[in-house]
A = this chain, B = another copy of it.
Amino acid sequence: MSFVKFNDDNQIINFVRDHSDLFSCHSELAVEEISDGNLNYVYRVSDASGNSLIVKQAPPYIRIIGDDWPLTQDRIRIEQQSLQLTAQHCPQVVPEVYHYDSEHCVILMQDIGDHDNLRQLLIDRTELPLLAQQLGNYLAQMMFRSSSMAMESTAHKALVKTSQNPELCKISEEVYFWDPFCDHERNDVNPLLKDEAQSVWNNSELKCEVAKLKRRFMSDTEAMIHGDLHSGSVFATTDSCKIIDPEFSFCGPIGFDIGVLFANFLLNYAGQQNLPGDRCERMTYQGWLLQTLSDIWQQFSTHFASLMQTETLDPSLSEPGYQQWYLQQIWQDSLGYAGVEMTRRTIGIAHVADIMNIEDPELRADSERLSLQIANMLILQRNTLSTPKQLDDAINQLRT
């Protein structure tokens, strides 16, 4: 199958007119490239009346690198499969898919341009009172519905098969679990943080715990996860929350999504220590971040437990003690994966604006140090920090 890349705006417009009836045929359409992530081409197509949609196209390579780094286009099939499954169980949190074209490797989808990126909202210290509830419910619904508790065993295995995503999983296996825990050439370490990075690379106990988390990431197929649920994949308004870009989706450990999400609140927490602005306001916001993390867990675990209680198809998986144990496992996994995500975002290849926006290298190093400290604690103490309260206390203690 040869790939047909759009060469100009007209091709995009023609494609959109052929596959969507959003626009009247006489309206003039404008195309704006808004590619933001690393992998794909993304365009907004709009008319003068305010109608618009998004065109996402996956080339057979990594967009920002080009032909030199080929990457499977199967990722766009995975993305639309994940968006469709989410639309079934939790329609309010995903952009609607208008059309999927496997030949052009294109998804036409709803424009969520009225939402802001959560990473920027956190950097700007925006409090979003409904966010924890929205994210907690989304996580509970999607994780439960795509697990073998809610699906017939054979249907779940079929989902495991169609959502296999080996090439993108391999990227995650490397950038989360390998690079940041050794002196890898792909790492990007603040020169002021060399000693701390070296400590990570020399810490056998830490690396052993990361290997346990990696083993589970590679072999546990419990539910269909998003696979890249950092704050850049979440868009929000005061009322609404949308999750995009599930091209890393596969059947994996539930705690991975929750952990990556937690980590991005905690990376912002570490950033707020030294971002510009009023100190008191920054500290208040740090409190909101920890509270929101705790509320997400509260919402997720309550909702998930209730689904386990009332909707588990398999009676042998509905023992009450099992629920409690299972949620505790997810919590522990979540802390572990949060620690891994924080480490890779601090000394690995892909840093976050929450910390990189701190211009002074010394101050940035201070936030990076705090991030690594929290990360170490999460990975090493995930089995003893058994509630959000204990986690809060431990984080607050690190800061003092």
Contact = CB atoms under 8 A, between A and B. Distances in A.
Interface of A: 148, 153-154, 156-158, 160-161, 164, 166-167, 169-170, 173, 177-178, 181-182, 204-205, 207-208, 210-212, 214-215, 218-222, 314-317, 319-322, 325-326
A204 B158 CA distance: 31
Contacts of A314: 178
Given A208-B321, A211-B322, A169 B182 contact: no
B170 A160 contact: no
B161 A319 contact: no
B221 A219 contact: yes
B170 A322 contact: no
A166 B156 CA distance: 9
9 contacts: A157-B166, A160-B164, A204-B321, A205-B321, A211-B317, A212-B325, A214-B317, A215-B317, A220-B220
A142 to B, nearest CB: 16
A64 B306 CA distance: 43
A161 B158 contact: no
A360 to B, nearest CB: 33
B319 A204 contact: yes
A208 B320 CA distance: 8
A181 B222 CA distance: 23
Contacts of A212: 322, 325
Contacts of A211: 316-317, 319, 322
A215 B321 CA distance: 14
Residue among A156, A219, A314, A326 with max Cβ neighbours from chain B (10 Å): A219
A204 B322 CA distance: 9
A166 B181 contact: no
Given A157-B166, A178-B316, 15 more contacts: A154-B170, A177-B316, A181-B316, A182-B316, A204-B321, A207-B316, A207-B319, A208-B322, A211-B319, A212-B322, A212-B325, A214-B317, A219-B220, A219-B221, A219-B222
Contacts of A208: 319-322, 325
Residue among A160, A164, A319, A320 with max Cβ neighbours from chain B (10 Å): A319
Nearest to A222: B219
B173 A153 contact: yes
A339 to B, nearest CB: 15
A195 B297 CA distance: 42
Contact of A214 (B157, B161, B182, B316): B316
A373 B315 CA distance: 24
A181 to B, nearest CB: 6
A371 B41 CA distance: 63
A221 B320 CA distance: 26
Contacts of A326: 215
Nearest to A208: B321
A315 B153 contact: no
